[in-house]
Structure 1
Amino acid sequence: MLDYSFHWRQAFRALPEMLSGAWVTLETAALTMILGTLIALLLTVMRQLRNPFLRHFANTWVSIARNTPSLFQIYILYFGLGTLGLHVSSWFALVAGITFNNAGYLAENFRGGLKAVPDTQMRAARSLGMSAFQAYRMIIFPQLLRIVFHPLSNQMVWAVLMTSLGVVVGLNNDLTGVTQELNVKTFRTFEFFAIAAVLYYLISKTIVIVARLLAWRLFRY
Structure 2
Amino acid sequence: MHYTFHWDPAIRAMPQLLWGAATTLEIAALSMIFGIALAIMLALFAQSHNPILRAIHVTWVEIARNTPALFQVYMVYFGLGSLGLQLDSFPSLVAGVTFNNAGYLAEAFRGGLRAIPETQVRAARSLGMTAPQVFVSIVLPQLFRIVFYPITNQMVWAILMTSLGVVVGLTDDLMGVTQQLNVVTFRTFEYFTIAAVLYYLLAKSVTVTARLMAGRLFRY
Please confirm whether the aligned pair reaches a TM-score higher than 0.5, indicating the same fold: yes
Kindly state the Cα deviation for residue 12 of structure 1 after the two structures are TM-superposed: 0.4
Partner of 1:201: 200
What secondary structure sits across from 2:147 in the alignment? helix
Answering whether residue 156 of structure 2 is matched by residue 164 of structure 1, we say no
Kindly state the Cα deviation for residue 212 of structure 1 after the two structures are TM-superposed: 1.0
Answering whether residue 48 of structure 2 is matched by residue 31 of structure 1, we say no
What secondary structure sits across from 1:115 in the alignment? helix
| Distance in 2 between residues matched to 1:111 and 1:60, nearest whole Å | 15
Partner of 2:77: 78
| Distance in 2 between residues matched to 1:146 and 1:81, nearest whole Å | 36
Partner of 1:87: 86
* Structure 1 unaligned spans of 5+: none
| Distance in 2 between residues matched to 1:59 and 1:175, nearest whole Å | 34
In the superposition, relative to structure 1, how do residues 180 and 122 fare at CA in structure 2: closer, same or farther (>3 Å)?
same
Partner of 1:64: 63
Kindly state the Cα deviation for residue 117 of structure 1 after the two structures are TM-superposed: 1.6
In the superposition, relative to structure 1, how do residues 133 and 84 fare at CA in structure 2: closer, same or farther (>3 Å)?
closer
Kindly state the Cα deviation for residue 54 of structure 1 after the two structures are TM-superposed: 1.7
| Distance in 1 between residues matched to 2:36 and 2:145, nearest whole Å | 15
What secondary structure sits across from 1:64 in the alignment? helix
Answering whether residue 28 of structure 2 is matched by residue 10 of structure 1, we say no
| Distance in 2 between residues matched to 1:160 and 1:71, nearest whole Å | 14
What secondary structure sits across from 2:44 in the alignment? helix
| Distance in 2 between residues matched to 1:216 and 1:146, nearest whole Å | 12
| 166-175 or 130-139: bigger deviation | 130-139
Kindly state the Cα deviation for residue 48 of structure 1 after the two structures are TM-superposed: 1.6
Answering whether residue 110 of structure 2 is matched by residue 102 of structure 1, we say no
Kindly state the Cα deviation for residue 141 of structure 1 after the two structures are TM-superposed: 1.8
Q: CA RMSD in A?
A: 1.3
| 72-81 or 133-142: bigger deviation | 133-142
Q: Calculate the TM-score normalised by the size of structure 2.
A: 0.95
What secondary structure sits across from 1:171 in the alignment? coil
In the superposition, relative to structure 1, how do residues 137 and 80 fare at CA in structure 2: closer, same or farther (>3 Å)?
closer
Kindly state the Cα deviation for residue 45 of structure 1 after the two structures are TM-superposed: 1.6
Residues paired across the two proteins, number = 220
Kindly state the Cα deviation for residue 201 of structure 1 after the two structures are TM-superposed: 0.5
What secondary structure sits across from 2:170 in the alignment? coil
Kindly state the Cα deviation for residue 124 of structure 1 after the two structures are TM-superposed: 2.7
| Distance in 1 between residues matched to 2:136 and 2:94, nearest whole Å | 29
Partner of 2:47: 48
* Structure 2 unaligned spans of 5+: none
Kindly state the Cα deviation for residue 219 of structure 1 after the two structures are TM-superposed: 1.1
Q: Counterpart of 1:155 in structure 2: which amino acid?
A: Q
Q: Counterpart of 1:183 in structure 2: which amino acid?
A: N
| Distance in 1 between residues matched to 2:72 and 2:36, nearest whole Å | 18
Identical aligned residues as a percent: 65
Q: Counterpart of 2:147 in structure 1: which amino acid?
A: V
Partner of 1:112: 111
